Structures are given as C-alpha cells and as structure tokens.
Amino acid sequence: MAEVKVTINGAQTSGREGVTILELAQENGIKIPTLCYLTELSPTGACRICIVEVEGSRTLVGSCHTPITPGMIIQTHSPKVLATRKVIIELLFASHCGFCMLCNKANVCNLRELAADLDVGLSPFQTRKRFYPIEDNPYIQIDRTQCILCRKCVRACREIAENGILGIAYRSFDTKIVIDNDQPLAQDTCRDCDICISVCPTGCLSKPKKLSAAKTGKPLIIC
C-alpha cells in the first residue's frame, strides 16, 4: 500500500493509506484524547473530543474517523483545539451527575481524567441533569445518570458480543442507552459477558453487587 506523507504538529511523517489521523498520531507518540473511540470497535464520531485542526478545513476534524490524505497539515493540540475540547468536557459535565466523590469509577473515569488534563473545573454551563433511576438486574447495573452517550457499550454488544441488545433511543437531550425497545433487561437475551461493562468510560455500567448471593462458607467471626 502507498505511503501517505503528512505534517503533524510541524513534523513530517508518513503513514499507510487508509490510516486515520488518530492512528498516525499514536504511531508517532502523540496522544489525542478520545471518549467514544476504541480500537476494537467501528468509529462513530459521537463525542468529538478527538477533533484536530487540519489546514484548509472549515471545521475541526474528528481524528478517530478521518483518514490521512497526501499533504495534510495537522495540529493536534493548537489553542483552538484545546479550547474546543475544554468546552466539550464542560458541556458533558454540565449534565453529568457530578457525584464523583461517591462514584466507584472515580479514579479510573475517562471523563474525569480528561477534565483534569484540560483544566476543567466547575462547568460554567447550566443544563438539565440526566437523572434516571438506577436499573438493577442480575447482569448489568445501569446508572444512566452517569452516561455520556459515547455508545461504546452499544457497539461492543453488537460488534464484539454479537448480541445487539443495547441500543439508542429518543432524541436530543433525552437520548439514552436502552435495552431492546426500552425494556428491562430480559434474562434470556443478555449473555452476561460483561463486555459492555468493561468498555464503559464512566460509572454508568457496572457489575451488580450481589450482596447476599455470595455468602457461602463459615461466618468470619464466631462468638
């Protein structure tokens, strides 16, 4: 395959034809943040955090889904890019529950990590909050209050688990991850593979705490 020459952050480099800007950046040791991208999944372009500046383009360009073209001049961390990424995170935080202190994902949360990187403090924007009751079932505990709609779980369920029980429903701000046609998780459809849980960037999907089920054997303290 032909090599495509591009300039990235001032340095000349080249990549195979068909490689995305993000992949090329990674090969060159440049870290572009992502929220909805995962190597194993098809790109969707939903979160827009991975945007970069490409000379001659009217808008910023999603690097996770845009292939490199000959002569492309790319800036991955220009002031314009950073300012835009910051506002996107501020927006995501505006509707996010904000209970990071109580969240079991707190220190491994991708959203929080990005917020720290981009110096995001209290969000200046006021939107509705997404408050949904926590959905509990034996397989996946779903707390949509923490969902940032990256759709990794939806794609993982379809593309890796080849099951497709997770989907997207409703529009605009009310968009949410649903099971089947927005029904409670039916026991016979979920294969309990946990793949969706493993790809969730926030605390939205987690393993249910089976508090009593695991109590077997002798009690620890014997009076």
CB of 148 to ligand FES, least distance (A): 10
Under the binding rule (CB under 8 A), the answer on residue 170 touching other proteins is yes
Q: What are the two backbone dihedrals, phi and then psi, of residue 3, each rounded to the nearest 5 degrees? A: -85, 135
Q: Which residues, numbered 121-160, are part of the site for other proteins (CB under 8 A)?
A: 124-128, 148-149
Partner from other proteins, ligand FES, none binding residue 124, C-beta < 5-8 Å depending on class: other proteins
Asked whether position 120 contacts other proteins by CB under 8 A, the answer is no
Catalog residues that contact ligand FES under the rule CB under 6 A. Answer: 34-37, 45-50, 62, 64
Judged by beta carbon, residue 27 or residue 182, the one nearer ligand FES is: 27
Residues 6+ apart with CB under 8 A from 67: 17, 18, 19, 20, 21
Q: Closest separation between CB of residue 167 and other proteins, Å?
A: 8
Of 185 and 196, CB closest to ligand FES: 196
Contacts with other proteins, 38-77, as mask; x by CB under 8 A: -----xxxxxxx-x-------xx-x--xxx----------
Nearest approach, Cβ of 98 to other proteins (angstroms)?
14
Contact partner, 66, from other proteins, ligand FES, none, Cβ < 5-8 Å per class:
other proteins
- Of 177, 175, 152, the C-alpha closest to 166 is 177
The type of residue at 80 is K
Q: Dump the DSSP string for the chain.
A: --EEEEEETTEEEEEETT-BHHHHHHHTT-----SS--TTS-----S-TTEEEETT-SS-EETTTPBP-TT-EEESS-HHHHHHHHHHHHHHHHHS---GGG-TTGGG-HHHHHHHHTT--S-S--------PPB--SS-EE-GGG-----HHHHIIIIIS----EEEES-GGG-EEEETTT-PPPTTT-----HHHHH-SSSSEE----TTTT--S--S---
Binders of other proteins among residues 183 to 222 (CB under 8 A) are: none
Q: Which does 148 bind (CB under 5 to 8 A by kind): other proteins, ligand FES, none?
A: other proteins
Is the CB of 42 or the CB of 104 nearer to other proteins? Answer: 42
> How near is the Cβ of 44 to ligand FES at its closest, in Å?
7
Which residues of the shown chain bind other proteins in the complex (CB under 8 A)?
Answer: 43-49, 51, 59-60, 62, 65-67, 80, 83-84, 87-88, 91-92, 94-95, 124-128, 148-149, 168, 170-175
